[in-house]
Amino acid sequence: MREETRRLWIQAKEDIKTAKILLENKRYYACVFFAHQAAEKALKALHIHLKREPPPRTHNLLDLLNSLEISEEDLIDAAMDLTPEYIVARYPDAANGVPALLYNEKIAKEHLKKAEKILSFCEEKLAEK
Structurally, the chain folds into a number of domains equal to 1
Q: How many residues does the chain have?
A: 129
Confidence of residue 65 (pLDDT cuts 50, 70, 90): very high
At 129 the pLDDT is 60
At 1 the pLDDT is 85
- Per-residue pLDDT tens over the stretch 4-35: 999 999 999 999 999 999 999 999 999 999 99
29: domain CATH number is 1.20.120.330
Range of the domain at 124: 3-128
Indicate the average pLDDT of the chain: 96
Q: In this structure, are residues 95 and 14 in contact, taking their beta carbons and an 8 Å threshold?
A: no
User: How far apart, in whole angstroms, are the C-alpha atoms of residue 50 and residue 121?
Assistant: 13
- For the chain, the farthest-separated pair of C-alpha atoms sits apart, in whole angstroms, at 44
Span 120-126, mean pLDDT? 97
At 115 the pLDDT is 98
Confidence of residue 127 (pLDDT cuts 50, 70, 90): very high
Span 30-47, mean pLDDT? 98
At 36 the pLDDT is 98
User: How far apart, in whole angstroms, are the C-alpha atoms of residue 122 and residue 103?
Assistant: 27
- The angle, 0 to 180 degrees and rounded to 10, between the axes of the packed helices 73-82 and 105-128 is 130
